[in-house]
Amino acid sequence: MTGLIVHEWIAQHGGSENVLDAMTATFPDAELRALWNEAPGRFPRVEESWLASTPLRRSKAAAVPFMPPTWRAWTTEGHDWVLVSSHLFAHHVGRPGGPPKFVYVHTPGRYIWTPEDDARGNHPIARLLAPGLRRLDKRRAAEGAAFAANSAFVRDRIRATWDQDAIVIHPPVRVDLLQGVMWADRLSGHEAATLDDLPRHFILGASRFVDYKRLDLAIRAGEASGMPVVLAGAGPQRGELATLASEASVPVVIVDRPSDELLFALFQRAALFVFPPVEDFGIMPVEAMALGTPALVNPRGGARESVEALAGGAVFESTSVADLRRGVELALGADMRAAGAAASAAFGEAAFGTRLKRWMNL
């Protein structure tokens, strides 16, 4: 018999897929199951559900009503254990009485539990179905699985939504890959010129260009402190951010679609990384701190935990000019000399695998 790893759906890019990378590396002989797979070749031997052969895979909101019964009908018998990577309904997989089930929770489904933190929860289908899905989700969560949360913030959400307890296992961050390299030396051509043309001392904001990432606050932090700002990423809010950049009282440069190498070079070159969104964990602030750059983060969400664990920055208490200026000053004053080694011990991929096995008694 073998272990079974279960993941909601496999996207080409995403924090939960990075966790899945580490899970499959920790348990290379386990079978892997997902509703559908949008990254063929990334993971070998992915078993997909019937949804993968339908148009529903292109509309998660429309597929939501079909997910719980699909997971429920998928048997887990014949496995020694089941490890679930869940941010919606994957923890519904199988029926009670099967092999031990360990659920690593990125978050209880924001679509149905905290739509204020995820605009997709405002889709008419999601709003219509949310009350019944919340009742079902809570009932399924009470069937005896063991839970691990990716942050204390998510552990509190698990208690509030499912009335279940969880241990905290922070997700893996590619700390060892990042460190010991001058990433600017890995650049050439256009990206090298882009980096060279940036101000010598700047605030960095980086993420997808979408509303909830609040990159406008990175610009406001720059204005509050009189520092230039660099925004790196791509997404539908690009035009709006360009307008804010043109109207800002400090220089604002937008770097479109940076490669990983350029992003890491930006982390190293920046004086400060500003990370405004309310995230379940927040990998980017850990990457920045691992490279020696302090982070300024939202007081809500999991990013605060990593900043406090590494003593690698500060939180802004509000979005007022005074609080943003104070947050920038505090973050810039952080002693970053020990943050790199601390990041590896606290958030490295090897540490994640060790903690996962210890939790599962394997």
Residues 311 and 200 in one domain: yes
Same domain, 162 and 300: no
Domain boundary residue, one of 142, 169, 196:
169
Count of domains in the chain?
2
- Residues 138-151 pLDDT 10s: 999 999 999 999 99
* pLDDT interval class at 14 (50, 70, 90): confident
Residue whose C-alpha is closest to residue 85's, from 25, 7, 161: 7
Q: For residue range 305-314, what is the model confidence (pLDDT) as tens digits?
A: 999 999 999 9
Which CATH number do you get for residue 232?
A: 3.40.50.2000
Burial class (CB in 10 A: 0-12, 13-18, 19+), 138: middle
CATH number of 164's domain = 3.40.50
Band (119; pLDDT cuts 50, 70, 90)? low
**Given a cut of 80, is residue 229 above it in pLDDT?**
yes
What is the overall mean pLDDT for the chain?
A: 93
CA nearest neighbour of 130 among 147, 149, 116, 148? 116
Q: Which of 82, 116, 84 shows the shortest CA–CA distance to 98? A: 82
Domain co-membership, 67 together with 50? yes
* Domain region containing 241: 175-346
Inside any domain, residue 355: no
112-118 own/partner pairs: CB under 8 Å, 24+ apart: 112/137, 113/137, 113/157, 113/161, 114/157, 117/212, 117/278, 118/212
Average pLDDT over every residue of 234-242 = 95
Whether the pLDDT of residue 283 is over 80: the answer is yes
Q: Is residue 359 one of the residues assigned to a domain? A: no
Strand pairing of 79-86 and 167-168? Answer: unpaired
pLDDT of 243 > 70? The answer is: yes
Q: 45 lies in a domain?
A: yes
Which residue has 């992003």 as its token pair?
A: 263
Per the document, the length of the chain is 362
Q: What is the pLDDT of residues 192-224, one digit of tens each?
A: 999 999 999 999 999 989 888 999 999 999 999
32 lies in some domain: yes
Per-residue model confidence (pLDDT) at position 12: 81
Q: What is the pLDDT of residues 73-109, one digit of tens each?
A: 999 999 999 999 999 999 999 999 999 999 999 999 9
Residue 341 resides in a domain: yes
Instruction: Tell me what pLDDT residue 298 has.
Output: 95
Q: Name the nearest CA neighbour of 147 among 102, 90, 106, 81.
A: 102
What are the phi and psi torsion angles at 97 (to 5°)?
95, 0
Query: For the stretch 149-188, what's the b/e string if a residue is b when 16 or more beta carbons lie within 10 angstroms of its beta carbon?
Result: bbbebbbebbeebbebebeebbbbbbbeebeeeebbeebe
The answer as to whether 356 is a domain residue is no
Go through 272-287 and write b for each residue having 16 or more CB atoms within 10 A of its CB, e for each that does not.
bbbbbbbbbbbbbbbb
Question: Is there a single domain that holds both residue 102 and residue 250?
Answer: no
105-117 residue pLDDT tens: 999 998 788 876 6
Is pLDDT above 90 for 125? no
Look up the pTM and report it.
Answer: 0.87
* Radius of gyration of the CA atoms of the chain, in A: 21
Q: Which of 172, 25, 43, 138 is nearest to 9 (CA)?
A: 43
Q: What tens digit of pLDDT does each residue of 300-354 get?
A: 999 999 999 999 999 999 999 999 999 999 999 999 988 888 998 899 999 999 9
* pLDDT at res. 341: 83
Domain assignment present for residue 201? The answer is yes
Last residue of a domain, one of 169, 204, 221: 169
Residues 163 and 180 in one domain: no
Residue 26, C-beta contacts closer than 8 angstroms, at least 6 positions apart: 352, 353, 356, 357
Q: Are residues 203 and 228 in the same domain?
A: yes
Residue 334: in which H helix or E strand, if any?
A: none
Structure token digits, residue 252 = 């604002």
Cβ burial of 189 (10 Å; 0-12, 13-18, 19+) is exposed
pLDDT tens track for 150-169: 999 999 999 999 999 999 99
* Domain identity same for 329 and 236: yes
61 and 208 both lie in a single domain: no
Cα 86 from Cα 7, distance rounded (Å):
6
Instruction: Give pLDDT tens digits for 16-74.
Output: 999 999 999 999 999 999 999 999 989 988 999 999 999 999 888 788 899 999 999 99
Residue 127 confidence (pLDDT) above 80: no
pLDDT score recorded for residue 314: 97
